[in-house]
A and B are shown apart, each in its own frame.
Chain A
């Protein structure tokens, strides 16, 4: 599948996104190290939904300079609102993963009418010194994303494709992506979202992963407590990038919840 481009009013850089499937629209907001284009998890979910998966500005196939136009979470909330308006989707479901979980929650708190149901996967955006978590921005440069997996070895297969990916290109790409999320999460991911979560009206499912070293599953409890009526499910054997480790399982969980069949 090819990426699509759309230029939103008032934005100098194009927004790059993937879209596939049919049915009710799901906005998929990716994790703090980016997105591998149209991923297996998108493909699986698109059997039941119209999946819209944009790159956050400055990530992946979008221009790096696009990041310069966004200073904070509110800028991103307004950006995604405009994207949905331009695509004419009406209210949507949202799956927000990692940093995308934070932005999804902000959208649901600030624009409750835009969001039907919401799944937050390993959301990042709260900080507790006692829970802590590995620093995703202080890793060995040539293996920067290894910490995002339940087992660091998985990166060889799931990111480096067992040697098919050029190491130098991948290094530059990873730094570009991590810069894109670090801008909002540096030096620790306290975004202030905690005080706005009571405004969320959408039925919400929190997905925590037992082997998430960066946003340990304990954070999932804190998100659940602050969102009225939120449910929570734990995948014990997955890491932060559960989208790459267990795409089928994650798609099933999201599909069941978003279709109201939980």
Chain B
């Protein structure tokens, strides 16, 4: 069982009356709520937390991409992934990921990911999300009617750019390139493991099953509500005649660990509330552009990934959050028990541990992360490991091949 520490990097200073005064945390959210001077501290603390998690032995640390929002301040995940690649050593860099349909030419994505894979010594996990409707259609103006077609073409081009040793030309619908000849090339062969973050889209299940990609269900409604979609994926893999492997599936879960149940409630409830009530306050008109999801998905009654999931968590107590699975929380024993239930019921071999959520300050997050790393993770690491092969983790260089980056902020003076 693998654990990846993941932080959405929310803006922690949304006002108490945010829901009443603003219609959306995304797309048209008032930019006057952002303060770049505070932002300087926020970014550095968030990056500190990722590096802290790497030191504690998490298998991976994750970054992702969102635009024009206070929910997650990472327009370019590559920027943070490259910073983390230089400042960490063994941990997987889970770039989860780049909305590949948005970039023209997408060879830029192939180049940047290859750079990160090379500089990190082969530690990159390459996430290829379609991207939310808010990000892709509204903020970046991409046409919902052909977003998925563009995604598929860009995917095919990136894979070929990584794997074909010869120069080739690409005459696609959305990309016409006479000379494709990538430099640098990724360390990992044939290419870094590919993970597909998905919400509720039946097409994504088939895509992952057919290509043997990891399906990462990034729900914020928790593991109890996640059952339906995760089972949908496993069933689809079986229907298409592929073998079940828990490491082909990942799930994201908010978690808080304290020394007691009461301490967990006192310390972390307000930050969970902040996340569910402010960070997920998306205007429904931006959640699902016409054509963003196929008719088949709409008819299957699947809800939009982020936009529609916020409502279910409104006005709940800490106890309700935990009972209904929005939050895994309590003392280390209680968290271990809930985690084991999550892992076994969803049949996932990878977990995105969202140990930071909402406006949680750094010190509280460090305490919870430390308890998780020391008192929860070791009791769950063995799950699945003897029965299944994990083909979705990076294959990094051996330690004697790894470069030693210059120590952080060492003196430049020659003595």
Give the interface of A toward B (CB within 8 A). 64, 67-68, 135, 137-141, 144, 168, 171-172, 174-180, 182-183, 186-187
Contact = CB atoms under 8 A, between A and B. Distances in A.
A60 to B, nearest CB: 13
B290 A179 contact: yes
Given A172-B295, A172-B298, A176-B295, A182 B287 contact: no
A179 B145 contact: yes
Contact of B291 (A135, A140, A168, A183): A183
Given A138-B285, A141-B285, A175-B290, A186 B143 contact: yes
B287 A64 contact: no
B290 A171 contact: no
A186 B299 contact: no
Contacts of B287: 141
B144 interface: yes
The 10 closest A-B pairs by CB, nearest first: A179-B291, A178-B290, A183-B145, A187-B141, A179-B290, A138-B285, A186-B143, A175-B290, A139-B285, A172-B298
Nearest to A179: B291
Nearest to B27: A138
Nearest to B287: A141
B284 A182 contact: no
- A interface majority secondary structure: helix
B141 A186 contact: yes
B144 A179 contact: yes
Contact of B290 (A68, A144, A168): A144
A172 B299 contact: yes
B298 A175 contact: yes
Nearest to B173: A71
A50 to B, nearest CB: 33
Interface band, chain B: 20 to 34
Nearest to B290: A178
B285 A140 contact: yes
B298 A171 contact: yes
Interface of B: 137-138, 141, 143-146, 149, 283-291, 295, 298-299, 301
Contacts of A179: 144-145, 290-291
Nearest to A142: B284
A165 B283 CA distance: 26
Contact of A182 (B145, B288, B295, B299): B145
A186 B145 contact: yes
Given A64-B295, A172-B299, A140 B284 contact: yes
Given A186-B143, A187-B138, 17 more contacts: A64-B295, A68-B149, A137-B290, A138-B289, A141-B284, A171-B298, A172-B298, A172-B299, A176-B290, A178-B291, A179-B144, A179-B145, A179-B290, A179-B291, A183-B145, A186-B289, A187-B143
7 contacts: A138-B289, A141-B287, A144-B290, A172-B299, A179-B145, A182-B291, A183-B291
A234 to B, nearest CB: 28
The interface centre, meaning the residue of A64, A172, A179 with most chain B CB atoms within 10 A of its CB, is A179
A52 B75 CA distance: 49
Contacts of B291: 175, 178-179, 182-183
A12 B325 CA distance: 48
Contacts of A177: 290
Contacts of B301: 168
